[in-house]
């Protein structure tokens, strides 16, 4: 476990720490890696002059040109497949898949090609590529632009999966992803692009498989990923006022998973809620809950509880959509119950 990345007191970057948005942190990571390694390139729909619909990549094409920031046809499977081939032959592609929902289109290239080529070839070939995509509901984007499908790729041996929850983590995890010799899928929460946080200038990386304690507490563990870290932090504030001290563990990567961090915290607090914006059934929360239940069984005072997205297609109507994701209030209520405070 590392120290909290919300306020990195031991910044390893080469420059001063500033407050920037998660979007800026992503762009900075890409720019630094593009400068460092000439084999890195970005390919995707409207990634160049448009800088993506979220404007995350604005300005990159001006520095690196159209040969490295490549506007592609609307062919997600095609650009992912091209990325696999380019990765197998000496380059480090960063494939931009605008919405995580489009994983359905690229899944053969991800799960059957990129993930397996190293193993199938007896270790002779490799596919060092990054797929950058998004997750998260409550943007009024309805059922095909709002899902959080990282469980799909977390299920596949050969893939690594990263889920930054802060600007600091976003920059460090993306740089690690680009330098990793394995295919990595990194999910960014669309709703967090404007979230600000301290980020060091210059180079630093965050190792995969190392969870981060986002808040230290004593009474209950909240394991939270990506968008749910902010929900957990807000819930922890509410719980604090009730005299309940919540510890927040952010695994940062679902694979490799820092099982020890989850188990250690649950042993310490004796209670755990796992939070993730993927669908609850058969989801990331089930894996986390199983890890804690197996590893901390004799230390638990309550069953490990899961909170994921409601098991429905994400509805458009704001009145309905807001019901489908965990909120600080719901987390607080459940935590109170587990702590015997209701």
Partner 1 sequence: MTQAGVPQAPHATETSMTRERWLHLYRLMQRIRLFEEEVNELYLSARMPGLAHLYSGEEGVAVGVCGALRQDDYITSTHRGHGHCIAKGARVDLMYAELLGKEAGYCHGKGGSMHIADQETGNLGANAIVGGSAGIATGAAFSSQRLGLDRVAVCFFGDGALGQGLLYEVMNMASLWKLPVIYVCENNLYGEYTHYTETHAGSMSARAAAFDIPVEEVDGQDIRAVNAAAQRAVARARAGDGPTFLLCNTYRYYGHHVGDIQRAYYRSSEEEAHWRRDRDPLKIMAGWLVSEGVATTAELEKIDNEVAEEVRQGVAFALEAPYPDPSEVTEDVYV
Supply the residues annotated as catalytic. 145
Q: How far apart are CA 113 and CA 134, in angstroms?
A: 21
Residue span 178-217 as binding mask against partner 1, x where in contact by CB under 8 A, dash where not: --xxx-----------------------------------
E strand or H helix at 111: none
**Per residue, what are the HEC states of 261-307?**
HHHHHHHHHCCEEEEEEEECCCCHHHHHHHHHHHHCHHHCCCCCEEE
Q: Which is nearer to partner 1, 256 or 295 (CB)?
A: 256
Contact by Cβ (8 Å): 69, 42: yes
Residue 164: which of 192, 145, 137 has the closest Cα?
192
**Residue 128 binds partner 1, judged by CB under 8 A:** yes
CA distances from 240 to 144, 247, 307 (A): 37, 11, 20
**Residue 80 binds partner 1, judged by CB under 8 A:** yes
Minimal distance in Å, beta carbon 69 to partner 1?
13
Q: Which is nearer to partner 1, 113 or 147 (CB)?
A: 113
User: Per CB under 8 A, which of residues 91..120 are in contact with partner 1?
Assistant: 91, 93, 108-109, 112-113, 117-120
Minimal distance in Å, beta carbon 78 to partner 1?
3
Q: Which two tokens stand for residue 308?
A: 């994921």
Residue keyed to tokens 């607080």: 332
**Residue 72 binds partner 1, judged by CB under 8 A:** yes
Minimal distance in Å, beta carbon 81 to partner 1?
2
Minimal distance in Å, beta carbon 153 to partner 1?
14
Q: How far apart are CA 90 and CA 305, in angstroms?
A: 45
**Segment contacting partner 1 by CB under 8 A, of 88-96, 215-223, 275-283, 314-322:** 88-96
* Residue 199, beta-bridge partner list: 18
Q: Which is nearer to partner 1, 86 or 331 (CB)?
A: 86
**Residue 240 binds partner 1, judged by CB under 8 A:** no
Q: How far apart are CA 22 and CA 230, in angstroms?
A: 13
**Residue 87 binds partner 1, judged by CB under 8 A:** yes
**Segment contacting partner 1 by CB under 8 A, of 47-55, 82-90, 298-306, 310-318:** 82-90
**Residue 81 binds partner 1, judged by CB under 8 A:** yes
**Per residue, what are the HEC states of 167-230?**
HHHHHHHHHHHHHCCCCEEEEEEHHHCCCEEEEECCCCCCCCCCCEEEECCCCEEEEECCHHHH
**Residue 78 binds partner 1, judged by CB under 8 A:** yes
| Total site size for partner 1, rule CB under 8 A | 43
Minimal distance in Å, beta carbon 174 to partner 1?
18
Minimal distance in Å, beta carbon 115 to partner 1?
9
Positions touching partner 1 (CB under 8 A) are 39, 41, 67, 72-73, 75, 77-91, 93, 108-109, 112-113, 117-126, 128, 157-158, 160, 180-182
């Amino acid at each position: 476990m590392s120290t909290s990345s919300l306020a990195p007191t031991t910044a390893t970057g080469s420059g001063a720490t500033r407050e920037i948005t998660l979007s800026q942190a992503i762009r900075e990571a890409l720019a630094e890696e593009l400068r460092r390694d000439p084999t890195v390139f970005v390919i995707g729909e409207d990634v160049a002059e448009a800088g993506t619909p979220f404007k995350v990549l604005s300005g990159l094409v001006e520095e690196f040109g159209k040969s490295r920031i490549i506007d592609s046809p609307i062919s997600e499977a095609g650009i992912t497949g091209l990325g696999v081939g380019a990765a197998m032959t000496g380059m480090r592609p960063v494939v931009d898949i605008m919405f995580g929902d489009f994983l359905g289109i690229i899944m053969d290239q991800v799960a059957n090609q990129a993930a397996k080529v190293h193993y199938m070839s007896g270790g002779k070939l490799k596919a060092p590529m990054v797929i950058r995509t998004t997750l998260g509901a409550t943007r009024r984007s309805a059922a095909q632009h709002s899902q959080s499908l990282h469980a799909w790729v977390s299920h596949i041996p050969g893939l690594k999966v990263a889920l930054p929850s802060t600007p600091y983590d976003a920059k460090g995890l993306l740089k690690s992803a680009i330098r990793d010799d394995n295919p990595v899928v990194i999910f960014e929460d669309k709703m967090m692009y404007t979230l600000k946080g301290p980020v060091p200038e210059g180079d630093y990386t965050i190792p995969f498989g190392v969870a981060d304690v986002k808040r230290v507490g004593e009474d209950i563990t909240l394991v939270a990923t990506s968008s749910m870290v902010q929900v957990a932090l807000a819930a922890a504030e509410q719980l604090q006022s009730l005299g309940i001290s919540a510890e927040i563990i952010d695994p940062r990567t679902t694979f490799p998973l820092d099982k020890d961090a989850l188990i250690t915290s649950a042993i310490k607090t004796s209670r755990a809620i796992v939070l993730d914006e993927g669908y609850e059934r058969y989801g990331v929360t089930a894996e986390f809950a199983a890890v804690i239940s197996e590893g901390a069984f004799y230390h638990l005072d309550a069953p490990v509880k899961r909170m994921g997205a409601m098991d429905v297609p994400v509805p458009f109507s704001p009145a309905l959509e807001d019901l489908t994701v965990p909120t600080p209030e719901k987390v607080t209520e459940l935590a109170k119950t587990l702590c015997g405070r209701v």
